[in-house]
Structure 1
C-alpha cells in the first residue's frame, strides 16, 4: 500500500514537471502564430476588414447621429413646422385635465374639512399627495407636447 503511494506521488511530480514547459511552449507558439497572422494579412482579409469597418461606421452614424430630413421645397418644410405646432397644441389639451383634477382634489379637501374639522391635518396631507399625482400627470403631458414640437 505504501509503495503505491510512493509510486503515485513520483508519477504526479514527473507529470507536473513535464507539463510545465510544454504549457509554456504552447502559449509562446500560440502568441507567435497570432502575431504572424495579424502582420501577414491577405489582400482579401484586408478588403473584408475595410468593408466591415464601413458597415460599422454607417450603423453607428444611424444609431447615434441626429439626422434632419432635408425637404426639397420650402413649402414642405413649412408644412412640417405647422404640423409640429398642431401636434404640440393637441398634446397640450391634456393640461386642462390636470387643472380640473387639481380643482377636484382641493374641492374634496374643502368638503371633507367642512364635514369634520378635526381631521384637517390628515386630509390636507392626503390632498397634497393627490395634488402631486395630478401635477405629475400634467407634467408628463407637457413633456409629450414639447417632444412633439422639438423632435
Structure 2
C-alpha cells in the first residue's frame, strides 16, 4: 500500500481509484479524439447496439450513470464529430434515440481495445483480468453499486435509537 493510502477511508480510496481510472482513460483515448465521458457513452452504445437496442438518451443516461443533460451534451458533440446519430423516437416524439455511425463503430472498437489493455494493466496487481480475485472484486463492486444510496435521504435517527 502506498504511503498516501495508509489510514485512508474506503470512500477516499474509491474516489482516488476512480480519478486514476478517469485520467488514464482520458489519456489513452485522446489520440482517438475521445474523452473518458465520451468513451463511456460510445462504448455503452456499442454494447447496447450489439444487444439489438437503440437506446434513448434517457436510457443511456440510466445505463451509464451520467446525468441526462450531460448525455445530451455529449451526444450533440459526438454527432458533430460524425460518430453518433440522433433521431426522434417514432413511438415518443419527446425522446431522442442514439446510434453509432459506421465511423463511430470503428472508433469505438479501437477505443475498447485500448481501454481493455489499460484495464488489464490496472488489474495486474490482483492477478489479471480473469483471476478469481478480480472476479470477487467485480462482485464486490457490483454489490456496492447496487446498494441504494440517496444523499438527499439521510438515515432516520429515530430508527437508530
TM bucket (normalised to shorter chain) is under 0.3
Question: Larger RCO: Structure 1 or Structure 2 (Cα < 8 Å, ≥ 6 residues apart)?
Answer: 1
TM-score, normalised to structure 2, is 0.26
From the two aligned structures, give the one with the greater strand fraction: 2
TM-score (norm 1): 0.28
**Larger helix fraction of residues:** 1
